Structure 1
Amino acid sequence: MQRPSHILNAASNLLGIALVIIAGLNVSHVADKNFADEIAWLAAICLATSCLLSYLALRHERRAAVTEKWADRIFLLGLGALIGSILVLAITNR
């Protein structure tokens, strides 16, 4: 299995988690009280971009190295934002 496919699998799974966090905060009306959902939106955008770039790296061999590098960087940014969203939510709901 190639590295971009690992990024694609992980990013798509974490994108689902970010969307569940966003939906849960909006349904429970907690989104108005803190900015954890804005951070989760940032994570969702980064993870969706990482999914797209890792898919493009799998499809286009010629530019795969550059696209894979950016997919990896944006994935880590999205992962950090997702962790930040959970931390903000945990701290503000003490």
Structure 2
Amino acid sequence: MATRDSMDNLMQQVEDAIRYAEEQYKQSSLQEQYNDDDYTKALQQLEDTYLDITKMAHSANSQQRDQLHRMRLQLQQLQNTMILEGENL
């Protein structure tokens, strides 16, 4: 079972990654252009966090796995949105 601290730390990492990615997405939408480095960094942070969630799921109990699954879906949705936006810019 994953420890409560490790789950809390991962949840904070997810929130931080999402906040940063959403900020980059908003900036790119408003400016109709985006900073390649920051946008790419945000996408990479989402991917790294996704991988961390996957690793954590191996030692999680069923309730934690469900929570991790929801976080993974949230990250994937934002990744997909950003990738599609990046193609349109």
Relative to the length of structure 1, the TM-score reads 0.47
Relative to the length of structure 2, the TM-score reads 0.49
